[in-house]
Chain A
Amino acid sequence: MIATVRLADGSVAFPCAAGDNLLHAGLRAGIGLPYECSVGSCGTCKYELLDGRVETLWAEAPGLGERDRRKGRRLACQSRPLTDCTINLRPGAAYVLPVPAARQRVAFLASEPVTHDMREFRFRAAAPARFVPGQYALLELPGVGARRAYSMCNLANAEGDWHFHIRAVPGGRASRILFGPLDERTEVVLDGPFGLAYLREGPRDIVCVAGGSGLSPMVAIARGFAAGKGHPARRLHFFFGGRTPADICGESLLAVLPGYGERLTYHAAVSDPEAARAAGWPGPTGFVHTLVEAALAPNLARFEFYFAGPPPMAEAMQRMLVANSVPSAQVHFDRFF
């Protein structure tokens, strides 16, 4: 069944294919439905259902608070239409997909270690892989029950290759399948690309900040920057934050890029001072947002910021940038819920 979804203001209607959710169906149709995470956690895709029926995929999704539920609000990324629907929300041009997103089977090719608990996973689709550096895809893994978002670390390519740096989360359902180890015969479906924290052309120098598994999209942005035709004087400052020295990574991936050490620099901080001391870590200790602030002050508003990582790290970065009067239009990030 194809459901028709109408916006309450009468501005647009779009089709939603069987099995698709409201958010991704709208985005596929070229409409700027607000979103960030695609997985029920950020709360940006809230809407009101005025007419029709939907199935809720994850009833306890943290993106909705008690107050939202009381007011009958829902999450577009967790709603599957059962009939034609009329919904109320406010679209925005910033959310329109930069390249089309499609759901397709992918084959698992190989994985290799990045750190003690992170690996690079490589998948191949039949169609060319089209995405912008910094975007993510949703992976459907057997037995997980819900899709998980993973950010690509490679660049768009004709071969159909999608590469991800993924951290093993102890006890995590997707982690268990991926690090099982993953069998080449496992059926994996990929939907994407989605996400707003993608590389933009512009005059400003770039700052990339990765916390832990936030490495993947930041490496993609650095690779896109190095491969791009941007102004030769434009620079990129890459920061990585890890808890212990064993978590620090990414430098070897950047060191092979043209301009490394000149236009492209790498800095890392270890947040656990005990672990730093025990391992004889020669670099800075502390949270990575404090290293970024110290290294770039004053006038952080002259940079374009990209960051990704666990929600507390992303929030610390946001607060630091607000305190430094960096306009939000220059700040692009994903929280890895």
Chain B
Amino acid sequence: MDGVIKIEVPGRPPLAAFNLDGTFYVTDDTCTHGEASLSEGVIEDGLIECPFHQGCFEIATGRPAAAPCTVPIRAYRPVIERDLLHIEDDGA
């Protein structure tokens, strides 16, 4: 089963945390094409499809995978420790 939730973190743009068949991924939640929340989109074949104009990103890498999206979203490397999901953010 695949799923996604939105994570609000104070002081930074929201994140989207994905569970793709037991593997966790974290990306930015805001689409680079507009102000859409990707966690409200549809997951299919490792892609997240934006709810606004059906552009897609590769969940594992953040690469744009369908028009109108052309700019990647940031993908973070998550680590699970004691049931907590951690990500590294270099602040860039």
Chain A positions within 8 Å of B, measured between CB atoms, are: 34, 36, 42-46, 62-65, 67-68, 73, 90, 92, 311, 315, 318-319, 322-323, 328-329
- Interface contact tally, CB-CB below 8 A: 47
Enumerate 10 A-B pairs (CB-CB under 8 Å) in ascending A order: A43-B67, A44-B53, A64-B67, A65-B67, A67-B66, A318-B32, A318-B70, A322-B32, A322-B71, A328-B35
Pair B67/A73 contact, Cβ less than 8 Å: no
Residues of A within 8 A of B56 (CB): 67
Distance in angstroms between the alpha carbons of A90 and B31 in the assembled complex: 15
Whether A46 contacts B70 in the complex (CB less than 8 A), given A322-B32, A323-B92, A328-B34, comes out as no
Q: Closest residue of chain B to A318, judged by CB?
A: B71
Q: Which of B68, B71, B72, B92 contacts A42 (CB 8 A)?
A: B68
With contacts A43-B66, A68-B66, A328-B34 taken as known, whether A73 is within 8 angstroms of B54 at the C-beta atoms is: yes
Which residues of chain A are near B70, meaning CB under 8 Å?
311, 315, 318
| CB of A318 to closest CB in B, whole Å | 5
How far, in Å, is B59 (CB) from chain A's closest CB? Answer: 15
Q: Which residue of A lies closest to B28 (CB)?
A: A322
Q: Which positions in B face A, CB cutoff 8 Å?
A: 32-35, 51-56, 66-68, 70-72, 92
A63-B68, A90-B52, A318-B32 are known contacts; what are 12 more A-B pairs with Cβ within 8 Å? A42-B67, A42-B68, A44-B68, A63-B67, A65-B66, A68-B54, A92-B52, A311-B70, A315-B70, A318-B70, A322-B71, A328-B34
A255 to B71, CA, bound (A): 35
Task: Decide if B71 touches A315 in the complex (CB within 8 Å).
Answer: yes
- Give, as a whole number of angstroms, the nearest-CB distance from A190 to chain B: 25
- Measured CA separation A150–B51 after assembly (Å): 30
Contacts of B35 in A (CB 8 A): 328-329
